[in-house]
Structure formats: C-alpha cells, structure tokens
Structure 1
Amino acid sequence: MIILTIPISFQLGGLDCGLAFTVTLFVGYSILTLIRLCFRKSVLAQLVYSSQHLFIPSLLTLFISIYSGRDQDILVNDQTFALFLKFAVGPWRVLLYNATPVFTLLEGVCTILAIQSIGKTFGWLRRTKSEIWVIISLLISGGILTTSLWFLYRIYSFDVVISSLSSSLIGVVLTISTFLGLAGIISKKGSTIESSLLFAYIVRCIYETFPELSSLASDEIWGLISMGTAQIREEIHKNDYIIPIGYILFNEKNRINLSKVFTNLTLNAPSSFQTILEFIVASSKTITPTILLNLAFRVSVFYAATRIIPTLASYTYTTSSTQQKSNTLKYLYAFAPCMVIAIYTHLMMQYSNELDSELCIWGWWEPNAELRMIVNPWLFWNWVNMFTTLGLYCAELLSEGEAVRLEESEIEGWKGQ
C-alpha cells in the first residue's frame, strides 16, 4: 500500500501534499509499531496494526482534497493544520533535503558488507561442499561482468550529455575498481565474485549519478522483462503446457454449464471492487521503474547489513551483549516500514527534481566570498560514495587476509539467523 499511495500523493497533490502524507505515514507507523511492541501478545494490538491498510487510502484522499483546492479553507484557516505544517512537515522537509549524503554513503557501506559476505559464502561453499562451486562462481561472475560491460557500453549509446569532468571521473573509478578487483583475485584476499560485484556496483553508481541514464536503463530493463514474460505466455499458450480449465470443467462426462453462476456472481458483487481494481491499476502506472528498482536495491542492502553485522559482532562481545544486540535488531526490523517511507520519499523528491540543485563546498563560511565552489549535490555525493566504497574495499585488501575473513562457523551463524 505504501508503494502505491506515495507516488499518487506527489503526482496529484504536489510536493507539499506528498510531504504531508508521508510524514503522517511515518508518524502513524511509528505509533502503531510502538503499540505492537508494547502489547505484543494482545490480539487487539495486532488488529489495530493490521488496520493500517484501511486508513492509508482515506489519508491519501484527505490530503489530496486539501492540497488540490477543494478544502482550501483547512489549509489557510485551520490552526491545528498550521501547527502540523510547522512542527511535522517542516522538520520532515529539512530532514529529507539533507538526507542525500546519509542515504548515499550508507548504501555504499552496506553494499561492501553484502559483497564481501557473498564472496566469503562462496569460498566457504567451495571449501566445505564441493569444487563445483568454483565453476558456479566463475559462471556467475562472468554473467555479472558481461552485463556490467554491456551497460557501460550503453552509456555511450544513450543521447545523454556528460561533461568532460564527469567523463574523466568515470574513467578514474572504472580503472580503480578494475585494479582493485584484479589485486583481490591475485592476492587471494578477494575473489572473482567479489570483483565482479564491485565493478557492477560502480557501473550502477555511474548510472545513478546521472538520472537521465538511470531512467533510460530502467525503462530498457523493464521493456526486456515485459518482452520476456510475453514470449513465455505465448509459448505456454502455443504448446498447451497448461491444461485449459475449460477442459476440466466441461468434459464429456460432466458438462456443467457454470457461465450463469459466474454471471450472477459478477452482477451481484459490490461495485466497489471495480473501483478498487481501477485504483490499483492507476496506482501501478504512477510508479516509476527507476524509483522502484532503486528502492528495492537500497532496502535489500540495508536489510543485508542488519543480518551481517550481528554475525561479525557475535565474536567480539559476550553472550549477554550479543543477546541485547539481537533484541535491538528485532526492534529495528519492526520499524523497517518507517525507513522505507523515508527512503521512498527521498527518491521521489530526487527524481521529481525537488531537491536542491546547488551545494556550496567551498566558501560557504563567508557569505560574500569571492571564490565559491558550487556543485550539484546529487552528483557530488554519488562521486563521494564511489570513491569511499573503493577506498573501503582497498583498506580491506590491505588489511591482514585471514583475520578479516569470515570463518566457516561465522557463515553458518549468519545463515542460521
């Protein structure tokens, strides 16, 4: 429901409507989660938490009606709503406007953790299970690397203007990532799967640095997926892989005409079901593939980090402290919808060009400074993220090899969580 309603609030009501709606969702989910945690065994608390899906469409309708002009008096004259705008929407706006470095750099750190854990898991499988995992790892690495190189080639095929400075930086990060990948493989502190994933993440970051590239690539991927599913459906229908239900229901021995039954059910069904279906279809059309893919990636790497970090910490802390950290992570998982709302809203603002387009990185301490360096914040923090990610991986390779690698028991503990 969150995935469907947030884009509608921004597209129909504008930026202010989207911010008011999302901060209400954020606060509402926080309160419902607290109730659920405090009264964990209460059936009533679980029922109240589950009733969120009934209130979200009503809240969406309320805010759209307020910001679309139909209930303009509430927006202008209502003192309670004015306080809501001042103490809730205002801080929420400031938080999201300044959240770009936090979300971007945190994504890079979590991705490095996920890449290393995947590489170490394949190493553990190779050592304890079978050498066939070496071949599987090479095949997967080759597929990832080929796909990354293809998307890298597509950068020069798209009709997108890239400045000379950005082109130089692209060459630098690709050279560094290639060198680090080869160094990790040769020194045996890394692996082919880690190197290919690192290179793929850098290519992905290059696309994210330029929203036009990201949108074109996402639309292309979406088109390939749609084409593939259409071909599969056509092949299934052509070769009769699935027995038609009509053959089962209307065979020669028992020819029961159920058309009248289905007709009566359709006619007597509430007309609201049609409205709900139309709402879902219209909502799905407002979801941009680029935003959806980025949301899925960020949520996935953040979740993976919460599963990996306790495994690393469990060999440093005592049993009691480990149990305390496990309880903390349970609370963190409970508030996961709030994090999804914040990330989703920030991505909506970014791809709607609602975030600041200028960031002063030199001369900001003097209002009248003659020399001021102003950059695009989205581009700047994405470049910082790429170099930071490569720096972290380089530091990992320079550290002692086996001391920083997960042992077999650690991998088993991570899988058992």
Structure 2
Amino acid sequence: MAIGAAMSYFGGMGTFGQVLLGLPMVLDLLGPPSFLLLSLLLTLHHFLYSTLRLFLKNTPFAPLISILSFLSPTITSSLFLLTFYFHLHPPSPSSSTALIPSPVYTLVEVLPVVYAKILRVVSPLFTLLEGVSTLLVIQVAGRVGKGWADEEEKEEGGFEWRSLGALVLAALVYSVGLAGVYKYFPISADSSIPAFLLGVALTAVVFLSSIGFALKRTNVLETSLVFVYVVYSAWLSGVESAMEPRSFGSGWLSSSWASAKSVPEHSVQTLAKRAVIGVMDSVWDVAQTLPPHLLLSLVYRVAVLHLAARIVPVIRKASMGWDDGMSDSGMGGGGGVTPGFWDGRSLGEEPANMRVTTVVLSYRRAILIAVYTHLLFLDAGSQTWWRWLNIALFLAVWSLELLLDADDDADSVSARWKVD
C-alpha cells in the first residue's frame, strides 16, 4: 500500500510540473496550433485515466491505477514528443476522393480548433466555478483562522494575542478591499451600471456579514475575504470591459499569433533538447507578454481550483464517514499520500446526491488543464458581465450556507465546520 501511495504521489507531482511548465513552453516555442494540440492530448489522457479510475476503484483491477499514475509522467513526455513530431512533420489532408479526412489529420488539424472553440463557449462556466471554489477556500481559511485563535490557552489575566492578531489581519484585508474600490475600480462616463452593481454587491456583503455574525455562522476573517473577492471580481470586470474588442483566437497574442518562433531543428530529439533547455525562458516570455490582470487571473484561478479540489474530499470524508479514495487531489494528483483505490465505496454504492460530486472530482485534472489552457490562450474580455453574474452566484451560495440549517446543534458536521 505504501509503495502504491509513493508511486501515485511522485507520478502526480511529475505530471503536474510537466503541465505547468510545458504548456507555456510549447505556446512560446511552437505557437498556438501546437499548443492547442498538446493541451488536447493532455486533456484526453487525463480524461481516460480518470474514467478508468472511476470505474476500477474497489475492483480487482485497482492496482492498474497505481501503475498508470506512476507512468503518467512518461505518458505526458510521450505526448510532448508527439506534438514536436507533428510540428516538424504535419500530416497532409486526405485526397480529394476521400469522404472523410484521415484520423491523424483530424486529430492534428481539426480537433484542436474544435477544442479551442469549446473552451471559448464554456469559459463562463470556468468563471462561475472559480466563484464557488473561492467560497469554499474562504470558508476553510476562516475556520482554520478561528481554530488557530481558539487554541490559545487563556491564562487568568492573560492577553489573547492570537485573537488580536486575527482581528488585525481581518482589518488589513478589509483595508485592502476598500483601497481597491477607491483606487482601482474604473468609473465609466458612458455607463453607471458597473458602479451601481458594485454598490449592490458591497451592500449585500455588509448585510450578509451582519446576519452571519448574529447567527454565529461566520467570523471576521471569512467576511473580510468575501469582501475582497467581490472587489477583485468587480475590478477584473472593469479592466476587461476597458480592453479593446478582440476576435476569437487572438486573445492577448499579437497579430501574428499563429506564427511560431524560428525553429531550425529538423528532428524531434534536437527540438526536445532545445525545449528542455529553454523551458524557463519560454515561461518567462509568456508571463511578460500576458497583461498584468490576466496573469493575476491565471495564477489565482488555477490556485483556487487546485485548493478546492483538495478540500472537497476532506469534507466528504467528514460528512459521510468513509474515505472516498480521492485524497490525491490536484492537477497532477500529487496532493495526498493515500491512493485509496480499495477504500470506501464504489460509485454505485454512493448516495445519489453525491455521485455528481464524485464524477466532477474524478475529472478534476482534465478540468484544470482546460482552465489553464483557456487562460493562457484566450482573452477574457467577453466575460465582463459573466463576472457580475459570478458575484451574484457567489453571494447567493454564501447566503444559503449562512441561513440554511442555522439551528443545527453544535455536534453537527456543518456547525463544526463553521465556527463552533
């Protein structure tokens, strides 16, 4: 069991590093067509892996999952080499007499374009998913902060330094949010709607915070983080609305977005060597080319989705009383130490209302790669109003969490999770 855990952990970490560094490298070195092809191949690989894991867990074939997880970095490297090969030797279309294109030509030339269009269509879902994940992370941060303050031993006549520190930290977070509203939120002379929406959102935060305090369902650290996220989302909406309208596929790239760098190599081996040597330079080039707000959005969204994917299995285990075998959450699957393929229940044995969560968590790696690809390649200018909808959804879910089951006893899972 320990060997399987180690194999899963190191295999997941290796894959995570390859995806995190490799996609910007291919975008910078080979251009968007090869970048989309590699992202598609990586997404398909993790989709198939997740499907096998979902259906083989708690079966006699479960050890195969550990083996595939250990081999994942090797498979990912092979996909990089395959991308290099097709960049140097692109497939030719089928003859004019053929009814359908050849499978290789379809994979290399057709499916990446379809994949990019799908990412563009579902990008609002990524924005809404960010909001829900952020709320989960904020609630955990508030719980951890309160638990840390409560651990302080109260000596008679002593001073509660941790509680004071938590209050000071929350005040600083509030101050950052207020400074953001004052200094960075753009006021448009053409429309007062964004300012009106921001006022409504901040008013809702104040009232929900007051209700949460009255019901003892929240704390000052959680409410301050909610306040800052609302300001952050409103600021991104304003910045994106001020961007010049762009056509699909151009994103933040220059007009020559489909042109790769000059690559004189004529073999996969030499191209791979150049890519490995210059991977950090490519990542730095992409980071410098990205607009600051898009770079911030990229880092934040990937980080918050990664954290949420690690938190949800812990909550499921606490609420359901058994291990669902998803403790190795994350893009690469290296977030835990126990594969858990023989623990808990199979998908058919789970309660019906939990199966959707199980399926989504099972495909979290493919989802994270798609989100990472979307933010690297596609501009977010068209998501201006979706960010306001995300704020509304974010506050609505928070209000339901504050108000529903507010009278639970102190021994309930939800009550312990919040402030008791």
CA distance in 2, matches of 1:32, 1:386: 34
Alignment-derived partner of residue 243 in structure 1: none
CA distance in 2, matches of 1:211, 1:62: 40
Alignment-derived partner of residue 121 in structure 1: 144
Alignment-derived partner of residue 345 in structure 2: 324
Return closer, same or farther for 1:52/1:152 CA change in 2, 3 Å cut-off.
farther
Alignment-derived partner of residue 22 in structure 1: 39
Alignment-derived partner of residue 346 in structure 1: 374
Asked if structure 2 preserves the Cα contact closer than 8 Å seen for 1:12 and 1:64, the reply is no
Alignment-derived partner of residue 170 in structure 1: 198
- Structure 1 counterpart of 2:387, one-letter code: N
CA distance in 1, matches of 2:144, 2:65: 40
CA distance in 2, matches of 1:111, 1:193: 14
CA distance in 2, matches of 1:104, 1:401: 29
CA distance in 2, matches of 1:406, 1:300: 32
State which of 106, 129, 136 in structure 1 corresponds to 2:165: 136
- With 94-103 and 381-390 compared, the bigger mean Cα shift is at 94-103
Alignment-derived partner of residue 286 in structure 1: 286
Return closer, same or farther for 1:392/1:49 CA change in 2, 3 Å cut-off.
closer
Return closer, same or farther for 1:380/1:93 CA change in 2, 3 Å cut-off.
same
Asked if structure 1 preserves the Cα contact closer than 8 Å seen for 2:317 and 2:323, the reply is no
Asked if structure 2 preserves the Cα contact closer than 8 Å seen for 1:8 and 1:283, the reply is yes
Alignment-derived partner of residue 259 in structure 1: none
Alignment-derived partner of residue 181 in structure 1: 209
Asked if structure 1 preserves the Cα contact closer than 8 Å seen for 2:120 and 2:378, the reply is no
- Structure 1 counterpart of 2:222, one-letter code: E
Q: Which has the higher helix share?
A: 1
CA distance in 2, matches of 1:62, 1:404: 62
Shift of the alpha carbon at 1:199?
0.4
Greater RCO, 1 or 2 (C-alpha within 8 Å, sep 6+): 2
Shift of the alpha carbon at 1:146?
1.8
- With 195-204 and 285-294 compared, the bigger mean Cα shift is at 285-294
Q: State whether structure 2 residue 88 is matched by structure 1 residue 83.
A: no
State the secondary structure of the residue aligned to 2:218.
coil
Deviations 1:61-95 (A, max 9, x none): 345446xxxx4746998722343268843653443
CA distance in 2, matches of 1:279, 1:313: 38
CA distance in 2, matches of 1:178, 1:143: 17
Return closer, same or farther for 1:34/1:189 CA change in 2, 3 Å cut-off.
closer
CA distance in 2, matches of 1:396, 1:300: 23
Shift of the alpha carbon at 1:342?
0.6
State which of 169, 180, 194 in structure 2 corresponds to 1:151: 180
State which of 4, 9, 22 in structure 2 corresponds to 1:5: 22
Pairs aligned (count): 330
State the secondary structure of the residue aligned to 1:152.
helix
Q: Percent of aligned positions with the same letter in both sequences?
A: 22
Return closer, same or farther for 1:325/1:115 CA change in 2, 3 Å cut-off.
farther
Q: State whether structure 2 residue 130 is matched by structure 1 residue 107.
A: yes
Aligned-pair Cα RMSD in Å: 4.4
1:5-404 correspondence runs (5 A): 5-10=22-27, 15-31=32-48, 40=63, 45=68, 48-52=71-75, 54-65=77-88, 71=90, 73=92, 79-84=102-107, 88-89=111-112, 92-130=115-153, 131-156=160-185, 163-212=191-240, 276-287=276-287, 288=290, 290-314=293-317, 317=320, 319=322, 323-324=344-345, 336-351=364-379, 357=382, 378-401=383-406, 403=408
What's the TM-score once normalised by structure 2's chain length? 0.62
Shift of the alpha carbon at 1:116?
2.1
Return closer, same or farther for 1:107/1:42 CA change in 2, 3 Å cut-off.
closer
Shift of the alpha carbon at 1:382?
1.0
Alignment-derived partner of residue 234 in structure 1: none
Gapped runs of 5+ residues in structure 2?
1-17, 154-159, 244-269, 325-342
Larger radius of gyration: 1
Alignment-derived partner of residue 236 in structure 1: none
Return closer, same or farther for 1:350/1:106 CA change in 2, 3 Å cut-off.
same
Shift of the alpha carbon at 1:12?
6.0
What's the TM-score once normalised by structure 1's chain length? 0.63
State the secondary structure of the residue aligned to 2:408.
helix
